[in-house]
Amino acid sequence: MTTGARPGLGARARAAVAAAALAAVALAGVALAAAPAQAQWVTVPEQFYLQAPHNWVFRTRHANADRLFNAFDFGHAILYEELYTRPDAPASRLEEDTYDQLVREVLVRPPRVPLEEAAIAVRYTRLAPEAKAMFEWAHLLHRQLYDVLADERLDSARQDAEVARLLRYYRSRPDLAFSARPKSMALMQEQPYSLAFRQKYPKFNGLIWGYHWLQVGLYEPLVVGRTSEARQAGVRAAVARFWQMIEGGVATLPHQMPMTAAISPAFTARYPEAAIIFDNLHSMHDVISDILANPAVPRARKRAEILVAAARFRDDTTEVMPEAGWRRMSLEMGVENMGGLAMATLGPLPTPSVTRGAVMQHDRQTGAMTGFKSGSGVGGAHAGHDAHAGHAPPADSAKVKPDTARHTAADAAFMQGMIGHHAQALVMAALVPARTATPALRVLAERIDVSQRDEIAAMRRWLAERGEPVPDSTGALPGAAGGHAGHEAHAGHGAAAMPGMLTPAELAELGAASGLAFDRLFLRLMIRHHEGALAMVRDLLATPGAARETQTFTFVSDVDTDQRAEIARMQTLLTRIP
């Protein structure tokens, strides 16, 4: 540990943690006191957990991971306070003293309770209480989503419903909520004050990005794990991976801001709104560090610049890019530069393909990488590319091929299996017109027929373009189910091999039903069928190296989104059928 001639940092850190913990306990005591307290006007209202049985489940089941969040909160708070109150301090104060205290003390023995950050970052909180409140509101969403996904009492449908409820609760505070529209990197990397923090404090910047890696990475094992034991093991592995980054120092810390779509693809496919919110949250963390660290922003202007940035991250118009472009940008930044996939097996950390803190440039509509503003590529898809006089390279100079990742056997197997899976949905949808008198069900079946046929055609093109075997299960399918129970079995993907598929007996039962009995049975079976498709998506995204092609990842994400939308329609319709 580096201490030099600056003693007392450890004592200061411990004192700040103690004060913050006491403040948190005191606030809890006030909230629980029987006697009413004198009212006091404040400019920033408090936010609280949305009442739910799943609250604090993650803390109970994954205590070690949960306590790290308390340490992260302390790290962010002490960083902002140091940047604001000691603008002329040497870089070593943060890069050595504070960094060592965080890594060797606070993270090793993290606080047992969430901290009151205002007791740590006293001056910063006075400077920008609005930004502090935005962070706390988003962190509250983080914690409640962990709770939902860690609660073993909730099945997939109930988890989805609770996540939707929490997102509605989050959006109920437009004065605090980050936009759920993806923002381009311009807000973080192309402002007059941008990059000051990462350039002066590269190691501390890497530590903050390591925090963000774990915060989004922990969702992946909770979403992908099939059993309680698998989820527990996945969370432990993610925490171990985080420590592996920390122990290697600046060389092994993330070289790029971790993007949720790259780190936790299954979580992103299932809950894209939450993933976007968290990326916007983490971008604003970087922005505030830059504003505070950049001496070109006068002290009297720092609050104003923070408030402008906060408003931009809340609105749905400033520097917004399409969701597909955001996903592609996330992939082309290179997951190897962000610390690697959350569900990667433990082993050596991936070798970064860009220099530390390199600033890539991307098309703001497609997300395709166009070059480097600063830094350079050192390997992989980014090898041989660098900045051009500090600006984007000309049209034919240092361009990166949009899709450098290759498809995998798992990608091909997914497409082949999903064609058969979709084909059975077409068989089921074809039964509807002759067996129902419910207009809404007819409309639903027509939607399923159109969407599934379009996706089958897209999957057949995908396979043909890559020279993979193309199943023939999209031939003219008759309306009767008889004789087609095994039609979708191909390339090793029979009905029994794919989740949600109906058995021959179930297809026969559906074909024999009519009226309201048919309506109820059809909806129950089709909901299960669609949930099976979601399971196939989760399995693919959990496969190392799979869905890395931009086209593949975008298609798989679209399948996930479409299936979830149709499940929601069917669940609503099912409640209306007597």
pTM for this model (two decimals): 0.70
State how far the Cα of 342 lies from the Cα of 353, in Å rounded to an integer: 18
Once rounded to an integer, what is the mean pLDDT over residues 247-268? 92
Once rounded to an integer, what is the mean pLDDT over residues 131-148? 96
Q: Which residue has the tokens 């308390």?
A: 70
**3-class state of residue 320 by DSSP:** strand
For residue range 64-83, list pLDDT tens digits in order: 999 999 999 999 999 999 99
- Is the model more confident about 64 or about 43? 64
> CB under 8 Å to 88, separation ≥6 — which residues?
none
CB 446 within 8 A of CB 433: no
pLDDT of residue 225: 86
CB 347 within 8 A of CB 340: no
Q: What percent of the chain has pLDDT over 90?
A: 60
CB 525 within 8 A of CB 306: no
Neighbour count for residue 61 (Cβ, 10 Å): 19
pLDDT of residue 569: 84
pLDDT of residue 345: 60
Identify the weakest region by mean pLDDT among 28-42, 145-159, 334-348: 28-42
Q: What percent of the chain has pLDDT over 70?
A: 82
- Is the model more confident about 45 or about 110? 110
State how far the Cα of 563 lies from the Cα of 533, in Å rounded to an integer: 7
pLDDT band at 398 (very low <50, low <70, confident <90, very high): very low
State how far the Cα of 294 lies from the Cα of 292, in Å rounded to an integer: 6
- Is the model more confident about 462 or about 47? 462
Identify the CA nearest to 512 among candidates 422, 421, 434, 577. 434
* H/E element, 200: helix 196-200
C-alpha torsion sign, points 286, 289, 293, 296: positive
Identify the weakest region by mean pLDDT among 257-271, 413-427, 503-517, 542-556: 542-556
pLDDT of residue 413: 92
pLDDT of residue 8: 42
Q: Is the pLDDT of residue 236 over 50?
A: yes
Backbone φ, ψ for residue 328 (5° rounding): -65, -45
State how far the Cα of 265 lies from the Cα of 271, in Å rounded to an integer: 10
For residue range 543-576, list pLDDT tens digits in order: 877 887 878 887 887 888 788 878 888 988 888 8
State how far the Cα of 436 lies from the Cα of 516, in Å rounded to an integer: 7
State how far the Cα of 511 lies from the Cα of 481, in Å rounded to an integer: 7
**3-class state of residue 376 by DSSP:** strand
Q: Is the pLDDT of residue 376 over 80?
A: yes
Superfamily of domain 409-576: Ferritin, core subunit, four-helix bundle (1.20.1260.10)
DSSP character for 295?
T
Q: Is the pLDDT of residue 457 over 60?
A: yes
Calculate the average pLDDT of the chain.
Answer: 84
Domain ranges of the chain: 9-382, 409-576
- Is the model more confident about 19 or about 184? 184
- Is the model more confident about 379 or about 185? 185
Q: Is the pLDDT of residue 535 over 80?
A: yes
Rg (CA), the chain: 26
Identify the weakest region by mean pLDDT among 50-64, 133-147, 325-339, 503-517: 325-339
Alpha helices in 315-438 (DSSP H): 323-332, 409-430
- Is the model more confident about 225 or about 205? 205
For residue range 19-41, list pLDDT tens digits in order: 555 444 443 333 333 334 343 34
pLDDT of residue 381: 57
